[in-house]
Structure 1
Amino acid sequence: MSSGRATFLELFFDLAFVVALTRVSQRFAGLGDDTGWALVTGFGRTLLLFLALWLIWSHTAWITSRYEPEQPIIQAVVVGTMFASLIMAVTLPRAMEERALPFAVAYLMVMVVRPLVVAIALRGHPRRLVPFRLVVWALASAPLWLAGALGPDHLRLPLWVVALAVDYLAWTLGWPLPWVGVAKVGRWRIAGTHLADRHQQMFLIALGESILVIGVVFSGADYSPERAAAFAVAFATSALLWRIYFYRAGLLLTEAFNRAGMPGRLGAVSERTHLLIVLSVLVTAVGYELVIDHPFGQPRPGWLLFLVGGPMLFLVARVRLQYEIFGRVSHSHLIGLVALLLCTPALARGAPMVGLSVVAAVLALVALLDALRRWGQPTEISASPIGGGTSDVGDSEA
């Protein structure tokens, strides 16, 4: 089992996801002029590609938390996964079009070949059954991925939706097989500190991608005081997202894992929460790009999906994180959600810059309420209601 913090190799691996998340943001940003059904389908296509990438990253984080990442075989697995992830990243802008096949092949190489390598490396160890489970389920969804890539364009989205649903369902159920049973990730013995590090690092990577968007868009646009103001408000919004995430709950994520009797159970829940957090940051970053380009342009209701939808999703995920760490719900985040919801109809008729400013003001209010609530009080100790109990040491696949 992994015994320490995240390694430099894993940080190197994350560089591929810096590229990947940038490409996801670009696809989202390309929807800025779409409305109605075109916006919905375009968002759904990009979301599917993001979820495929997330499954690759998440599986890798669990592998390096479950096994010693300094071992040569695990390092080879991580480097190989990085190369495949980079292929997915560079093909992602046209992955639903003419580059569907290399995207799908790179994805399947990770999902099928990687667990086979791990299983061979484990030889006679009982834990080899888990990667074999992954192979069987990956082979079950592989025909759908390949049919979607090679078949007619209009069938690609539904086929890939079913294929990805199979992969996520298998992950959720523990890859059940007849006569073998299941291998629930919540029962795995993992290095909780390591997995907490990985979740925090991925959030910072997403936040860094939003900063990259701010800088690139502003440097490439003609200078004007309005764009400069949008640039400043966008940066302040990212800083507030960082503050809200790490204040108390995000900062104590590692401690919560250390205190958990079954860190695998907490890790499974935290992984879904951080999926929402990373997605929310990417969606919010698209709003930055739209506003910096057209700070006082014509109101476009579709832009609210990014301007307001991203921050709202972030607050929903942050409420989940608060519960996972402390076993309670944050009232300040609920206030922020209600405020954004109430402001949305009015923002649909206002300039984009007004919408971004209101979002920043609401997030600032949430951060202020968080600080006031704990002013002068001792630092809280994590009291997670998730991950209680002890690992099932009798489970040979734990």
Structure 2
Amino acid sequence: MTDERGAELLRRGGGPRRATFLELFLDVVFVFAFTRVSQRLIHDITVGGRRLPLDLAQTLVLLLALWMVWSLTAWATSHYDPDQPPIRAVMVWSMFGSLVMAVSVPEAFDAHGLSFAAGYVAIQVGRSAYLSLALRRHAQRHLSDRILVWSAVSAVPWIVGGLVDTDARLPLWAVALVIDYVGAVVGWPVPSLGRAKASAWTVTAEHLAERYQQFIIIALGEMIFISGVGFSTSEFTLLRWLAFADAFATTVLLWRIYFHRAGSVLAEAVAEAAEPARLGKSATYTHLAMIAGIVTTAVGFELVIAEPTGHIDPVRFAAIFGGPALFVVGRARLEYEVFGRVSWSRPVGLLVLVLALPVLVRLPLLGIAVSATAVLTGMAVVDALRARGRPPEHPATPM
């Protein structure tokens, strides 16, 4: 393959700027993957007992692994042309590997540890190795070469963790994730090649922003799925109807708060940034926080629907109230990344959540969920009032 052929794999000015249908197809796999993570988290909370901290740490490792796979795939299709056959092959390969990981999630720290690790390593190592081969002598090959080296290093604790006893699996996989995330943060430095600077990874602003937006929709869809399944398999009592309606209202509020206004102009902010890739990388971890908040909120509503008059404990409280709080923290960071400031309603809303703790702990689960929804409603109302009669605010990213 010549340098010219390698250059054809890169995005060009006239190439597609929106997500392709194949990318949306990949997202379907992650809808399923997120339901597996949520169900595992629900199981952790309801039957965890003494092992609960360990079970929660295990579930967090699985979520971080899935997010790493999705985010690097999204970056690859924003840097390379997703209509080129080699990039489509990478997408299909990532899709199957993600599906293997998803079906392994429930027993990933038991009988299916090796299949989860193998799916992850196959995607991470396979993607970079294939791109390095496809690019050959093109200068952009050095980017995939760096990622390949780091992925190969982290593959060792991933595979070993899948083979050893389950008690040793968590620390090994945690080490592997640290390697992967540190590599992404520092630019995968390799001797003789150095590290990849942000400017080396050119991104298509509209495409990358759209992928983040679509994943938020995926997480919100998973929240509807979890609450819907939980409600449909229970008795239709009045309190459960109220819990189900509150879950739907919270889902709409999270959607509203995200897309007004920072989420909707993220593409413009990335395009106007002095270093678009730097903003894109920062937004990766911002969206990870919001995704984790949405998943936790979905689990909280599953618990509320199952037992609306149940008494609170620290773990259930963290799910019902901590999920929305984590989402708001991530959303506040996104607002800073896009506009260089944070609306006062965000810290005030979080402060209200903290100050209300002495009262909230005396309420049943449904009362706590409704209180969290009320705080989110206040934020959405403040957003609407602030924008009323004013021209749309344009991005002013500090990056």
Q: TM tier, shorter chain?
A: over 0.9
Report the counterpart of residue 285 of structure 1 in structure 2.
Answer: 298
Is the Cα contact below 8 Å between 1:301 and 1:348 reproduced in 2?
no
Task: Work out the number of aligned pairs and report it.
Answer: 386
1: distance between equivalents of 2:36 and 2:344?
35
Listed as ranges, the matches of 1:309-324 within 5 Å are 309-324=322-337
Task: Give the corresponding residue for 2:380.
Answer: 367
Question: Match of 1:295, as an amino acid?
Answer: P
Q: Which residue of 2 aligns with 1:19?
A: 32
Hey, what does 1:337 align to over in structure 2? 350
2-structure distance, mates of 1:348, 1:158: 34
Q: Distance in 2 between matches of 1:101 and 1:328?
A: 45
Shift of 1:87: 0.5
Select the residue among 212, 225, 231 that pairs with 1:218. 231
Q: Please give the alpha-carbon distance, in whole angstroms, between the structure 2 residues aligned to 1:70 and 1:261.
A: 28
> Is the 1:31–1:39 Cα contact (8 Å) retained in structure 2?
yes
| 1:92 and 2:105 matched | yes
- Relative to the length of structure 2, the TM-score reads 0.94
- Measured in 2, the distance between the counterparts of 1:192 and 1:55 equals 20
Residue by residue over 1:88-130, the C-alpha shift from the partner in whole angstroms, topping out at 9 and shown as x without a partner, is 0001011011100000011110111111111111121011111
For 2:20 and 2:192, the matched residues in 1 are separated by 37
**Secondary structure at 1:41 match in 2:** helix
Aligned to 1:52: 65
Q: Residue 315 of structure 2: which of 302, 324, 333 is its match?
A: 302
Distance in 1 of aligned mates of 2:385 and 2:213: 25
CA distance in 2, matches of 1:187, 1:116: 18
SS at match of 1:175: coil
* Alpha-carbon separation, structure 2, partners of 1:68 and 1:143: 31
C-alpha deviation, 1:84, in angstroms? 0.4
Cα deviation for residue 298 of structure 1 reads 2.6
User: What's the counterpart of residue 116 of structure 2?
Assistant: 103
Deviation at 1:186, TM superposition (A): 5.4
SS of 1:248's partner is coil
Q: How far apart in 1 are the matches of 2:248 and 2:19?
A: 28
How many angstroms apart in 1 are the aligned matches of 2:48 and 2:93? 40
Distance 1:260 1:91 in 2: 39
* Structure 1 unaligned spans of 5+: 387-398
Q: Compute the RMSD of aligned alpha carbons.
A: 1.3
Q: Is the 8 A contact 1:35 1:302 kept in 2?
A: no
292-301 vs 313-322, greater mean Cα deviation: 292-301
Partner of 1:390: none
Q: Which amino acid aligns with 1:235?
A: F
Task: Name the % identity.
Answer: 47
Q: Unaligned 5+ residue runs, structure 2?
A: 1-9
Shift of 1:147: 1.6
- Once the two structures are superposed, residues 141-178 of structure 1 have per-residue CA deviations (whole angstroms, 9 ceiling, x without a partner) of 22211221111221111111011101111111111111
Structure 1 consecutive aligned stretches of length 4 or more whose deviation exceeds 6 Å: none
Give the structure 1 partner of residue 397 of structure 2: 384
Preserved contact between residue 32 and residue 290 of structure 1 (Cα < 8 Å)? no
Aligned to 2:6: none
Alpha-carbon deviation of 1:35?
6.8
TM-score (ref. length: structure 1): 0.94
Letter aligned with residue 153 of structure 2: A
The 3-state SS of whatever aligns with 1:378 is coil
